[in-house]
Amino acid sequence: MALLPQAPAKPPHILTLVIATATGSLSMNIFLPSLPGMAAYFQTDYALVQLAVSLYLAATALLQLFIGPASDRFGRRPVMLVCFVIFILSTFAAIFTTDIILFLICRVLQAFSAAGMVLSRAIIRDTVDADSAASRIGYVTMGMTLVPMIGPFIGGFLDEFYGWQATFYLALAFGIFSIVVVYLNLGETNHQPTSSMLAQLKSYPELFRARRFWGYTATAAFASGAFFAFLGGGPYVATQILHLTPSQYGTYFILISIGYMIGNFSSGRFSRQIGLNRMMLAGNVIASSGLLLSLFLFSMGCMHPLSLFGPSLLLGMGNGMTLPNANAGIVSVRPHLAGSASGLGGALQIGGGAALSVLAGLMLTPVSGPYPLIWIMLTASALGIVASLYVMHVARQRGEI
């Protein structure tokens, strides 16, 4: 990796981090409206095709355990470039496979795009303090939300007109664009690399002993878990229970992304004044209230798409407030281990999300209605409130609030 050409040693433009982070988000959700059709194409069950979501999340979780420490050892820039090359090659291969197992293997390799998300957080923490990091992460997440917001919308129409492969062609084009931007603009921000990869992996016990690290990680895991459960079960509810077309699902999905953007903007605007912990708590409360509203609407017999997607705007808003602050907390507990903390914290939160995604896909049936999905999401958000309160309790003991 050291042989890769180096860009000027300067912090990247915030738009570069937005694009790098958006690459993984687009790959994760652009093909969601196509899942039922892909099950027919590969002549297999929906539950197996749905593994394209959960395996991607699980691989993302595992890879973050190594991407973070690798960037602490070799630098943020070379690690991100190598990971994006792997993403581009696997996306190209996925387009032409006709076997579901080979397709799922390609999806696992696509998870290397997680480098954009993991390393953007570490790069921000390399250059600013904790409260400013929360603000910048909020703005980065708000900006990159534009891509996954319109991803399912575009993916739904691409699927109807050209088939599911068209969505992967778009992901491939975006990946190529991203690696060019990163190559040209991302200067190295890790100016104190560690001596060895093994030494960096040995730093994990130091993070394990930090109670606030676990509190922030649990908060992020439960908040993102509610959203990933939606990714795993939402397409089934939309198409099999609410009878939406792929393009209609993509259109309604914009609501949750709009909410997420509002929450991200709130984080960027108010985190420095209000503080990380209070913003996390408020975000989880808002997300839980949205899911309670959805549960109420369905229980009253309102089987309309807006009963699911309308309250999901509040879920998105709550997550948009919670995740930037929780992630800023994760990389700020031990600043000298920012890359490792970002990788380990991200692995734990996305690993939990992958499990909830699988659970949602398994529990939903034509006779179950949307209730298993909503209850899984509500439970995750409620546990996020508990985790936020724990972080505030530890901070109070330390005399920080």
Residue 338: predicted pLDDT: 67
Residue 29: predicted pLDDT: 79
Instruction: Give residue-wise pLDDT tens across range 290-348.
Output: 999 999 999 998 999 999 999 989 999 999 899 888 888 887 777 667 667 777 787 78
Q: What would the mean pLDDT of 193-213 be, rounded to a whole number?
A: 72
- The mean-pLDDT minimum among 3-17, 62-76, 206-220, 339-353 falls in 3-17
Closest CA to 343 of 327, 357, 356: 327
Closest CA to 296 of 378, 386, 381, 380: 378
How many whole angstroms separate alpha carbon 344 and alpha carbon 203? 11
Q: What length is written for the chain? A: 401
Residue 51 pLDDT exceeds 70:
yes
- The mean-pLDDT minimum among 148-152, 182-186, 189-193, 198-202 falls in 198-202
334 conformational bin, left if phi > 0, alpha if psi -120 to 50, beta if neither: beta
Please give the share of the chain, as a percent, with pLDDT higher than 70: 88
How many whole angstroms separate alpha carbon 264 and alpha carbon 134? 10
Q: Mean pLDDT score of the chain, rounded to an integer?
A: 83
Q: What would the mean pLDDT of 87-96 be, rounded to a whole number?
A: 94
Residue 3: predicted pLDDT: 44
Residue 2 pLDDT exceeds 70:
no
CB 265 within 8 A of CB 351: no
Residue 344: predicted pLDDT: 78
**97 or 357, higher pLDDT:** 97
Residue 376 pLDDT exceeds 70:
yes
Residue 8 pLDDT exceeds 60:
no
Task: Name all domains of the chain by residue range, CATH numbers in brackets.
Answer: 14-397 (1.20.1250.20)
Q: CA of 95: how far to CAs of 103, 165, 232, 309, in Å?
A: 8, 5, 21, 30
pTM above 0.75, yes or no: no
Helical pair 100-110 and 76-96, crossing angle rounded to 10 deg: 160
Residue 211 pLDDT exceeds 70:
yes
How many whole angstroms separate alpha carbon 41 and alpha carbon 44? 8
How many whole angstroms separate alpha carbon 359 and alpha carbon 347? 18
Q: What would the mean pLDDT of 251-269 be, rounded to a whole number?
A: 84
Q: What would the mean pLDDT of 144-157 be, rounded to a whole number?
A: 73
End-to-end distance of the chain based on CA atoms, in angstroms? 43
